[in-house]
């Protein structure tokens, strides 16, 4: 079994299934229960991960870790994420989302555009290359003539 550093507390542990050590994962189970109970019984409609961390006095890294693992999925409807790009708060449709719908759309568009212009420049350079190689072939042919290789056979 490989030795690893726990991604939460940094302690060395023997990696079996999880990327965190046993004490951390045990602690996390308790924390997860606390979060879910707190959020689902609260009258507040939405919670930022940061506010869960502050209100329950839980390390934000643990809250984020649990969220990343998908453990907060059952309180998903009450969660608010902060967009990594514009800092706008948004309701996530999936726990892996990092950008608000707007930024997601924009990122998608710019990636698409980049791809498109890349394709275009690829096409152009392909065209250029084929013209060049045709010209080179023609040159070779011409020089064949110059040396009379073609004529000697005819």
Is residue 75 near Zn ion by the rule CB under 5 A? no
Is residue 103 near Zn ion by the rule CB under 5 A? yes
Is residue 6 near Zn ion by the rule CB under 5 A? yes
Is residue 85 near Zn ion by the rule CB under 5 A? yes
Is residue 88 near Zn ion by the rule CB under 5 A? yes
CB hemisphere CA count around 68 (13 angstroms)? 11
Stretch that binds Zn ion, among 16-24, 51-59, 123-131, 140-148 (CB under 5 A): 16-24
* CA angle centred on 27, ends 20 and 90, rounded to 5°: 80
The C-alpha atoms of residue 92 and residue 77 are separated, in whole angstroms, by 8
The DSSP bridge partners found for residue 8 are none
Is residue 12 near Zn ion by the rule CB under 5 A? no
Nearer to Zn ion, 41 or 87 (CB): 87
Is residue 9 near Zn ion by the rule CB under 5 A? yes
Nearer to Zn ion, 85 or 95 (CB): 85
Number of C-beta neighbours around residue 29 at 10 A: 12
Residue with tokens 């643990």: 62
The C-alpha atoms of residue 17 and residue 20 are separated, in whole angstroms, by 9
Binding site for Zn ion (CB under 5 A): 6, 8-9, 11, 21, 24, 83, 85-86, 88, 100, 103
């Amino acid at each position: 079994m490989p030795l690893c550093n726990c991604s939460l507390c940094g302690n060395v542990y023997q990696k079996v299934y999880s990327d965190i050590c046993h004490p951390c994962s045990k602690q996390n189970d308790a924390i997860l229960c606390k979060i879910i109970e707190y959020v689902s019984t609260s009258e507040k409609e939405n919670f930022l991960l940061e506010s869960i961390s502050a209100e329950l006095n839980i390390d934000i890294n643990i809250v984020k870790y649990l969220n990343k693992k998908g453990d907060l999925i059952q309180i998903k409807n009450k969660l608010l994420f902060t967009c990594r790009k514009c800092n706008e708060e948004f309701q996530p449709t999936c726990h892996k989302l990092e950008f608000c719908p707007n930024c997601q759309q924009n990122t998608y568009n710019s990636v698409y555009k980049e791809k498109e212009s890349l394709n275009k420049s690829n096409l152009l350079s392909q065209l250029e290359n084929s013209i060049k190689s045709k010209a080179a072939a023609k040159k070779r042919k011409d020089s064949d003539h110059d040396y009379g290789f073609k004529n000697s056979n005819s």
